[in-house]
Structures are given as structure tokens and as C-alpha cells.
């Protein structure tokens, strides 16, 4: 079976693993600064760092309800009273900085706040990203992914997330390597149907994707292959 044009268009969209659309506030801040934001009065607001994890939260516990997502390093908060209009004061700490948040409750649905820390890109980048050349960075990351290496200066996740593409084909995100501005993803693509599947790397590109590598472009029934995707890192990664 040769994949239809429609199916090939769907694949790169699914590779993006985009979250459902929601409101987003991006707050630029440096260590010790206070920044202003808005939170929903009645629903939870998600707060995270763009390039790091929230390690510590300090504030008046009587003003807000806090839920922590230790796995992803993010928090969810809402005011104790849905009628409150009093600003909520929080200090959130990442690996690199502590930022003060002054959050104004508003009558709005759930929201997301992403804190973008001021940083020296060369200091926060992984060794691969500091290698200097764009092509070399991609090559080094691809080699690390193919060898299942675990660089100590990159975050490695194993989501084991299965995506339904089309009948007879299964795509599973096995592992992700996250640098400060680049993400490498290793997928397993399996032919679970009864006919041959043919793919082309050029059909898997989309905006933000820097490189795609397929170990095998043709799969007989029951066969599987590794798919490697290198893309720019997004704020919600």
C-alpha cells in the first residue's frame, strides 16, 4: 500500500504533538525581577518555565490553591475564592533564577503562563548546540539519538506516546532529547496492516522541523523502523 497524499500531509502535523489550543502569556524575566500576569478567578492557570522546571514555590498559601506536576516541573494555581480580585504574590524558582509573580485574578477561562528567563544562550545551550555549526549540531544529535546516548546536559524523556495515524500504521514516540533550542525525537513506525507501506523523508517536513531520518522507507506487513525528527524547541515542550 502506498500512502495517500492526504495521509502524508497528516503525518507531519501529528509529529508536532501539539497541545490543544489555549491562551498563553509569555513573561520575560530575570533573576530577582517581578513580573505581572493574569490568572483565572474560577479555573486553574498553568505556570511553567520555558527552558526549565519549577523547583520551588513560595507564597501565602491562604491566597491560592496549588497543584504541582513534579514530572513536568510545572504548577497549576487558582485563587481560594472565585470572587477574589486581590493579586496573588508568588516566588517561583528554577535551576537558574527566582522570579516574583504578581498575578491579577480576572474573569477569564483557564490560561497558561510561560516564564522566559533572560540568559546567555551559549551558557544554557547543550554541548551539541555550542558546537558552532548548524549542520554539525544536527549531525551530532542524530548520532546520539541513533545510539540511544543520554547526554548529561540535555533533558531526556521517554513518553512512550502512541499516535493513531491511519489504519494499518502505528507511530510511537519512544524518546525525546531536549536542548535549550532544539529537540530530537525518536519514533517507532510499524506496519500493522496487511499491505506494504512506502514513505519518503521529504513528506515528513513541516515548519520548525530541521531534519528527518528514516532507517527504512519501505515496510512489509509486521515490519517496523525507527524515525528520527530534529526540530526547533517550542515554548510548551
Q: What is the pLDDT of residues 182-233, one digit of tens each?
A: 899 999 999 999 999 888 777 677 777 888 888 888 999 999 999 999 888 8
**pLDDT score of 180:** 82
In which band, very low, low, confident or very high, does the pLDDT at 14 lie, cut at 50, 70 and 90? very low
Which of 99, 117, 135 is the last residue before a domain boundary? Answer: 117
**How far apart are alpha carbons 227 and 236 in whole angstroms?**
22
Q: Is 117 left (phi over 0), alpha (psi -120 to 50) or beta?
A: beta
CA-only gyration radius of the chain, Å: 21
223 within some domain: yes
Q: Is 166 a member of any domain?
A: yes
> Both 162 and 217 in a single domain?
yes
Max alpha carbon distance in the chain (Å)?
Answer: 62
Reported as a single tens digit per residue, the pLDDT across 86-123 is: 889 999 999 889 999 999 888 888 888 989 887 544 44
Question: What pLDDT does residue 85 have?
Answer: 82
pLDDT band at 15 (very low <50, low <70, confident <90, very high): very low
Q: Is residue 175 part of a domain?
A: yes
Domain end point (choices 93, 117, 141): 117
**Would you state the pLDDT for residue 58?**
94
Residue 25 domain-assigned (yes or no): no
The number of folded domains in the chain is 2
Q: Which domain holds residue 215?
A: 5-19+121-232
CA atoms within 13 A on the CB side of 97: 22
Cβ-contact 30, 117 below 8 angstroms: yes
Amino acid at each position: 500500500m502506498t500512502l495517500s497524499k492526504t495521509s502524508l500531509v497528516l503525518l507531519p502535523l501529528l509529529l508536532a504533538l501539539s497541545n490543544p489550543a489555549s491562551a498563553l502569556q509569555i513573561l520575560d524575566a530575570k533573576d530577582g525581577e517581578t513580573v505581572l500576569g493574569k490568572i483565572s478567578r474560577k479555573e486553574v492557570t498553568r505556570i511553567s518555565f520555558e527552558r526549565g522546571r519549577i523547583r520551588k514555590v513560595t507564597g501565602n498559601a491562604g491566597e491560592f490553591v496549588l497543584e504541582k506536576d513534579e514530572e513536568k516541573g510545572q504548577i497549576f494555581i487558582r485563587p481560594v475564592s472565585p470572587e477574589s480580585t486581590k493579586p496573588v504574590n508568588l516566588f517561583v524558582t528554577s535551576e537558574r533564577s527566582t522570579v516574583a509573580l504578581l498575578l491579577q485574578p480576572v474573569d477569564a477561562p483557564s490560561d497558561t503562563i510561560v516564564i522566559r528567563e533572560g540568559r546567555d544562550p551559549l551558557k544554557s545551550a547543550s554541548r551539541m548546540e555550542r558546537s558552532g555549526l548548524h549542520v554539525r549540531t544536527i549531525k551530532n544529535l542524530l548520532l546520539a539519538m541513533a545510539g540511544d546516548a543520554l547526554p548529561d546536559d540535555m533533558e531526556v524523556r521517554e513518553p512512550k506516546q502512541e499516535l493513531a495515524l491511519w489504519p494499518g500504521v502505528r507511530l510511537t514516540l519512544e524518546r525525546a532529547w531536549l536542548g535549550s533550542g532544539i529537540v530530537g525525537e525518536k519514533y517507532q513506525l510499524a506496519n500493522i496492516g496487511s499491505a506494504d507501506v512506502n514513505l519518503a523523508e521529504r513528506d515528513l517536513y513541516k515548519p520548525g522541523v530541521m531534519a528527518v531520518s528514516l532507517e527504512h522507507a519501505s515496510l512489509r506487513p509486521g515490519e517496523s523502523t525507527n524515525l528520527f525528527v530534529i526540530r526547533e524547541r517550542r515554548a510548551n515542550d
